[in-house]
Amino acid sequence: MNINAENISALLPEKYRALHVTALGETDSTNERAKQLAAEGAELPLLITADSQTAGRGRRGRSFYSPPGCGLYMTLALPIRGALSSAVTLTTAAAAAVSRAIEELTAIRTGIKWVNDIYVSGKKVCGILAETAARRGEAQPSCVVIGVGINLSTESFPDELADTAAALGVPVSLRERLAARICAELLDIYHALPDAGYMEYYRSRSIVLGRDISFLADGRAFSGRALSVDDAGGLLVALPDGGEITLRSGEITLRLA
Here the CATH number for the domain that contains residue 219 is 2.30.30.100
CA distance 137 to 150: 34
Domain around 136: 5-204
Among 204, 220, 243, the domain boundary falls at 204
Q: What pairing do the DSSP bridges indicate for beta strands 46-53 and 20-27?
A: parallel
CA distance 33 to 65: 17
Identify whether residues 67 and 14 lie together within a single domain.
yes
pLDDT of 121 > 80? The answer is yes
pTM, rounded to two decimals: 0.91
pLDDT of 178 > 90? The answer is yes
| Bond into 115 cis (ω within 30) | yes
Identify whether residues 151 and 236 lie together within a single domain.
no
pLDDT of 106 > 80? The answer is yes
Identify whether residues 128 and 70 lie together within a single domain.
yes
CA distance 208 to 190: 25
CATH number for the domain harbouring residue 137? 3.30.930.10
Identify whether residues 128 and 221 lie together within a single domain.
no
CA distance 135 to 203: 35
What is each CA distance from 230 to 115, 189, 190, 252, in whole angstroms? 12, 16, 18, 17
- Which residue intervals of 107-210 are DSSP H helices? 175-192, 198-204
Q: What is the count of structural domains for the chain?
A: 2
Identify whether residues 147 and 223 lie together within a single domain.
no
CA angle 238, 239, 241 (to 5 degrees): 130
Identify whether residues 167 and 230 lie together within a single domain.
no
pLDDT of 251 > 80? The answer is no
Least confident segment among 19-33, 124-138, 162-176: 124-138
pLDDT value for 56: 67
Query: How does 35-48 read in b/e, with b if 16+ C-beta sit within 10 Å?
Result: bebbbeebebbbbb
CA distance 69 to 3: 10
pLDDT value for 17: 94
CA distance 129 to 117: 9
pLDDT value for 148: 96
Least confident segment among 115-129, 133-147, 198-212: 133-147
Identify whether residues 149 and 236 lie together within a single domain.
no
- Which one, of 140, 146, 145, 165, lies nearest residue 155 by Cα? 165
pLDDT tens, position by position, 26-44: 988 999 999 999 889 899 9
What is the arrangement of strands in the sheet containing 254-256, beginning at the earlier edge strand? 244-247, 235-238, 220-229, 212-217, 254-256
Max avg pLDDT among 33-37, 60-64, 218-222: 33-37
- Cα-trace Rg, the chain: 18
Give residue 231's pLDDT band: very low, low, confident or very high (50, 70, 90): very high
In the DSSP assignment, the letter for residue 234 is P
Q: What is the mean pLDDT of the chain?
A: 88
Among 169, 188, 204, the domain boundary falls at 204
Identify whether residues 69 and 96 lie together within a single domain.
yes
Identify whether residues 111 and 238 lie together within a single domain.
no
Residue 159 burial (CB < 10 Å; 0-12/13-18/19+)? Answer: exposed
pLDDT value for 225: 93
Identify whether residues 175 and 231 lie together within a single domain.
no
Identify whether residues 59 and 171 lie together within a single domain.
yes
Identify whether residues 152 and 129 lie together within a single domain.
yes
Contacts of 183 (CB under 8 A, 6+ apart): 8, 12, 16, 19, 47, 76
CA distance 21 to 47: 5
